Each structure stands twice: as C-alpha cells, then as structure tokens.
C-alpha cells in the first residue's frame, strides 16, 4: 500500500484505499477487543496485573472504547464507503490517492491519540476523551478527507438517482464533522459547568446517532439487496428512516443526563424525542426484513447475509431498550448501572459490529477478486462473536439489574460488588471469545488475500461455491 502513496492517482488500482481501510479496521478490532478483554479481567480479578500505572484500568478503559469506535467501527465505515459509494454510482472512487492518505493518516492519528490517552493525557470527558489538538487532527485529517471523497464520488456518479445507502453516507459524513466540532467545543473554547456536561453527552449521543447507527444501517441497505438479488422492499420506508434519523435521532442528547440538574424542559423534550427513535428503528428493521422475503435460506447458508441480518435483528432489542430506558420511569432504576454498559455493547458490538463485519467480509472479497478462504472459519468467527457478545450482554444486564435493585433498596455498595462478581467473570469470558474470534477472522482474511479462489470477471463473490 505504501508504494502507492506517492503514485499518480490513475496508477493506483481501484479499491486500494478500501482494502487498506479493511485490513486496518480488523487490526484495530483485535486491538480494541483485546484491551476490552484485559480490562474485563481486571474487573473480575482486581489484582490481575497490578501496581503498573500504564496497565491500570483507569488508563486503559478509554483506549478500549476509542480503539473500537474510531479504529474498528469508523475505519470499517470508511472501507464500506470507499467501495460501496462508487459501486452505487457506477463510477470509480473520486480519489484513490486521497483515500490511501486518509487511511495512512487515520492509523497514525488514532495511534497518537490513543497512546496519549494511555499515558493519561485526556480531556476528562467521556467519549470525547481525546485532547483537542488531536481532535482537530481527527476533524481535518480524518473525517473531512473521507467526507470529500464520498461527496465527490456521489457528485461524479454515472447514475441519475442516488440510492438510499449513499444518502446516508453523504449525510453522515457531513453530520459527524459537525458533531465532532461542536461536541469538542468545551475544550476549544473553555466552556464550563453544565454546558460542558451537556455538550459531552451531546457528542456521545450524536456520534452514535448520526454516525454509527445510520452508516451501519446504510451498509445493510446495500448488502441485503446485492447478495439476495431482491430489490429493496420500499424506497419510501427508506425515506422515512433517513428523515426520522435526522429529525429524531439528533435531539435526545439530554436523556443521558436525566439525573443531572439540567433545565427540566430539556430533559422532558429529550425523553419524548428519545422514544421517537423507534420511528427510524422500526422503519429500518421492517424494510430490511421484508427485503429478505423468499430468500431466508440465505440467512443460514450465506455468511454475509448471516452477519447482516443478525445485526438487523439485534437492532430490535437495541432500540426497544434505547427508546424506553431513557424515560424517567425506567431511567431512575438502571442509570449508571451495568445495564447501560450492556446496552452500549448491544449497540456497538451487537447491532453495528455485525453489519460492519458483513461489509468487510463482502468488500474484501469483491475488491481482492478472491473467494473467502474458509467458510468454516467464517462461521466459527460468527459464532464466537455472537455467543461472546450474548454472554457479555446477558451477564451485564443481570449485573445492572442487581445494581439497580441495590441502589433503590440502599444496599451497602460492597454487597452489590460481591453479588456482581460472577457476572464480571462471565463478561470477561464473553469478551475474550470475541477477541479470539477476531484473531481467527484476521487469519481468514489474510489467507483469502493470498490463497482465495480467484473470482472471474463479471461474477460476484457469493455466486461462487466454497472450495473448503
């Protein structure tokens, strides 16, 4: 890849940037989940690796979160955008060279930001922990070049209309830049007090709502029709999904601070808007599941569809939880407990990761023109992710309910810690399964690149039979 950084744009093989992003994202996924597993071990066994500042929980927790969000998820998104956007416009990526540089700087900038965080150089704000000079580098060095490439590819398309996936890609790359800029303004401009607290959660909410959720959904809008051969069930429901994301998902940020002394109108407004998140959620899930009609056999037989539809199905509990857990009636019970941790992993490790994994599986095969090396390893990866995630989610949900009960019945805190111990072990086991599954995935994709069966011109990866 590095030899193309200084090549002429025309000389760079199409898809190079996406391939670079794809393998980078898998590597960051391994780093992120490895850190997660290590952190979980510390919560189960507090004296596991002790007394070293750099390996203490408080120094590593945020590195895990941001390695997964900005490394795995966002780089997989960039990968998906760099091959799906041109494919849907019947054109080439606007600038393959910009894409390669984008990926190179992304890896570099993220490494710098995360190493600084690891040393404790933090802004002290959850999700926007990265210090503001690096935030500026992320906005102008990572997100803006990605956005320019996507927007220009859409502009130079050779089709008349723009397909659903590309509305989401074009809008989300724009919105994430706004979200990063506004969300980090407490650091840029020294905003303080409740304004700072509110903007911290405004960022945390919108980076999920306007970046991760819509882009992950957009991937499934591409993969499911492409692989099953069914047209999208309804363009109009897609419209409903898109517009309700913009209108409803961008507004409930204050529901993360229901117990803080924010203005009451703001909390009530956020809570109502939070329930309305069900509008885009139901539109999305029903549209995709109806697109599957007549092709449900592929949910079992085709690994890309298996990942995609699992992600879509996990959006159901995700949004049912998300829509209602933020209302005052429920929030007082589960706020600040492991329930929320479970919910966050349902969003990022459940719903979105399965969709990104599908994009990377399908995209790397398409771009490398090689059939997946091993179906068995891919299935193994799938089940390690799903069982590992389910173990994590169920154990943390139970732990959260225990904490919630302890909170309202005024149980001494240490008794809650003792009661949670078995679930902390289960969470560590689940997280470790995800990590091991990802190591197998990297091996499988590496072998695909080296030894996968060549896909003849004019054929799609899923049309070929597996040889192993």
Partner 1 sequence: MAFREYTIGTRMFGLAFGTSMFITLYMPAMDMRDVAVTDIGLHRQLSFGRVGGFSYEDPWLQGKAKPATVMIDKDPGTGSTIEATTAYVYPAGTPFPNGIRHPVILGEKPRLMSESLGKVGLADDTKGAVFIVREADDGGETIPYIENATATRGWMPEATMSVASEENTLYVGKGKIMFVREGCWWCHTLLPEQTQDWQYFGAPPMLGDFNGENPTAFGSDRKGPDLTHVGSRNSSREWMVMHFFNPRLVQPYSIMPRYDYLWGEKDINGNVIDYDAWREEYNQYVANERIYPPEVPIPAGDSEARALIDFVINLK
With binding defined as CB under 8 A, does residue 173 bind partner 1? no
Dist CA 207 CA 349 (whole Å): 15
With binding defined as CB under 8 A, does residue 162 bind partner 1? yes
Q: Which residue, 43 or 292, is less far from partner 1 as judged by CB?
A: 43
Q: Which residue, 262 or 439, is less far from partner 1 as judged by CB?
A: 262
Q: Which residue, 260 or 454, is less far from partner 1 as judged by CB?
A: 260
Q: Which residue, 55 or 464, is less far from partner 1 as judged by CB?
A: 55
Dist CA 296 CA 207 (whole Å): 33
Task: Return the residue matching tokens 């771009």.
Answer: 367
Least spacing, CB of residue 306 vs partner 1, in Å = 32
Whether the Cβ atoms of residue 307 and residue 382 lie closer than 8 Å to each other:
yes
Q: Which residue, 272 or 464, is less far from partner 1 as judged by CB?
A: 272
With binding defined as CB under 8 A, does residue 197 bind partner 1? yes
Task: Return the residue matching tokens 């857990």.
Answer: 325
- For residue 119, CA distances in Å to 54, 55, 56, 232 come to 7, 10, 11, 48
Query: Within a 13 Å sphere around the CA of 164, how many CA atoms are in the beta-carbon half?
Result: 27
Using CB under 8 A as the binding criterion, the count of chain residues that bind partner 1 stands at 79
Least spacing, CB of residue 379 vs partner 1, in Å = 34
3-state SS assignment for residue 354: helix
Whether the Cβ atoms of residue 99 and residue 168 lie closer than 8 Å to each other:
no
Structure tokens at 235: 């363009």
With binding defined as CB under 8 A, does residue 41 bind partner 1? no
With binding defined as CB under 8 A, does residue 444 bind partner 1? no
Q: Which stretch binds partner 1 (CB under 8 A): 71-79, 160-168, 219-227, 302-310?
A: 160-168
Q: Which stretch binds partner 1 (CB under 8 A): 94-102, 292-300, 331-339, 431-439?
A: 331-339
| Contact set for partner 1, span 335-394 (CB under 8 A) | 335-338, 340-341
Q: Which stretch binds partner 1 (CB under 8 A): 2-10, 71-79, 220-228, 244-252?
A: 244-252
- For residue 299, CA distances in Å to 141, 227, 304, 313, 462 come to 39, 11, 8, 11, 13
Least spacing, CB of residue 134 vs partner 1, in Å = 10
Could you please report the per-residue DSSP string of 374-398? -HHHHHHHHHHHHHHHHHHHHHHHH
With binding defined as CB under 8 A, does residue 458 bind partner 1? no
With binding defined as CB under 8 A, does residue 59 bind partner 1? yes
Dist CA 36 CA 449 (whole Å): 28
With binding defined as CB under 8 A, does residue 218 bind partner 1? no
Q: Which stretch binds partner 1 (CB under 8 A): 16-24, 39-47, 275-283, 297-305?
A: 39-47
Structure tokens at 159: 């089709």
With binding defined as CB under 8 A, does residue 120 bind partner 1? yes
- CA nearest neighbour of 154 among 142, 170, 139: 170
Q: Which stretch binds partner 1 (CB under 8 A): 8-16, 28-36, 80-88, 185-193?
A: 185-193
Q: Which stretch binds partner 1 (CB under 8 A): 98-106, 178-186, 222-230, 433-441?
A: 178-186
Q: Which residue, 278 or 417, is less far from partner 1 as judged by CB?
A: 417
Whether the Cβ atoms of residue 347 and residue 217 lie closer than 8 Å to each other:
no
Q: Which residue, 330 or 439, is less far from partner 1 as judged by CB?
A: 330
Could you please report the per-residue DSSP string of 77-135? HHHHHHHHHHHHHTS--S-HHHHHHHHHHHHHHHHHHHHHHHTT---S-SS--S-HHHH
- The percent helix, strand, coil of the chain (3-state, each to 5) is 80, 0, 20
Handedness of CA 132, 138, 140, 143 (dihedral sign): negative
> Binder to partner 1 among 13, 14, 124, 422 (CB under 8 A)?
124
With binding defined as CB under 8 A, does residue 153 bind partner 1? no
SS (H, E, C) 441-457: HHHHHHHHHHHCCECCC
Q: Which residue, 197 or 208, is less far from partner 1 as judged by CB?
A: 197
Least spacing, CB of residue 339 vs partner 1, in Å = 10
With binding defined as CB under 8 A, does residue 181 bind partner 1? no
| Contact set for partner 1, span 271-300 (CB under 8 A) | none
> Binder to partner 1 among 105, 126, 144, 453 (CB under 8 A)?
126
> Binder to partner 1 among 144, 152, 240, 262 (CB under 8 A)?
262
Phi-psi map region of 51: left, alpha, beta (phi>0 left; psi -120 to 50 alpha): left
* DSSP structural state of residue 370: B
> Binder to partner 1 among 24, 85, 200, 325 (CB under 8 A)?
200
Least spacing, CB of residue 61 vs partner 1, in Å = 5
> Binder to partner 1 among 188, 296, 383, 413 (CB under 8 A)?
413
């Amino acid at each position: 890849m590095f030899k193309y950084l200084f090549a002429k744009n025309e000389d760079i093989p199409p898809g190079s940037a996406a391939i670079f992003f794809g393998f980078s994202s898998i590597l960051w996924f391994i780093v992120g989940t490895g850190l997660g597993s290590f952190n979980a071990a510390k919560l189960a066994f507090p004296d596991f690796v002790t007394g070293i500042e750099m390996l203490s929980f408080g120094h590593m927790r945020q590195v895990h979160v941001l390695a997964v969000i900005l490394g795995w998820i966002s780089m997989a998104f960039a990968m998906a955008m760099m091959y799906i956007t041109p494919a849907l416009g019947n054109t080439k990526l606007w600038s393959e060279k910009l894409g390669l540089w984008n990926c190179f700087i992304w890896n570099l900038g993220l490494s710098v930001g995360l190493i600084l965080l690891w040393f404790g150089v933090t802004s002290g704000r959850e999700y926007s922990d990265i210090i503001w000079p690096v935030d500026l580098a992320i906005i102008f060095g990572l997100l803006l070049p990605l956005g320019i490439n996507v927007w220009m590819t859409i502009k130079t398309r050779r089709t008349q209309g723009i397909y659903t996936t590309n509305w989401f890609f074009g809008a989300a790359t724009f919105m994430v830049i706004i979200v990063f800029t506004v969300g980090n303004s407490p650091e840029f401009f020294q905003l303080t007090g409740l304004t700072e607290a509110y903007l911290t959660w405004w960022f945390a909410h919108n980076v999920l709502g306007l970046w991760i959720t819509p882009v992950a959904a957009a991937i499934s809008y591409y993969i499911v029709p492409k692989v099953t051969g069914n047209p999208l069930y309804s363009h109009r429901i897609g419209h409903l999904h898109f517009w309700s994301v913009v209108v409803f998902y961008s507004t409930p940020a204050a529901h993360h601070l229901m117990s803080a002394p924010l203005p009451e109108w703001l909390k009530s407004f956020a809570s109502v808007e939070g329930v309305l998140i069900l509008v885009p959620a139901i539109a999305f899930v029903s549209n995709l599941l109806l697109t599957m009609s007549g092709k449900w056999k592929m949910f079992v037989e085709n690994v890309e569809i298996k990942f995609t539809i699992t992600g879509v199905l996990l959006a159901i509990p995700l949004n049912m939880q998300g829509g209602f857990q933020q209302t005052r009636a429920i929030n007082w019970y589960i706020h600040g407990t492991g329930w929320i941790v479970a919910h966050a992993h349902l969003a990022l490790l459940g719903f979105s990761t399965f969709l990104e994994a599908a994009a990377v599986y399908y995209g790397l095969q398409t771009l490398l023109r090689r059939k997946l090396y091993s179906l068995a390893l891919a299935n193994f990866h799938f089940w390690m992710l799903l069982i590992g995630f389910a173990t994590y989610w169920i154990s943390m949900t139970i732990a959260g309910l225990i904490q919630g009960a302890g909170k309202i019945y005024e149980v001494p805190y240490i008794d809650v810690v003792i009661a949670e111990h078995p679930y902390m072990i289960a969470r560590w086991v689940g997280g470790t399964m995800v990590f091991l599954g990802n190591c197998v995935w990297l091996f499988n994709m590496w072998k695909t690149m080296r030894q996968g069966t060549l896909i003849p011109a004019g054929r799609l990866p899923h049309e070929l039979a597996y040889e192993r």
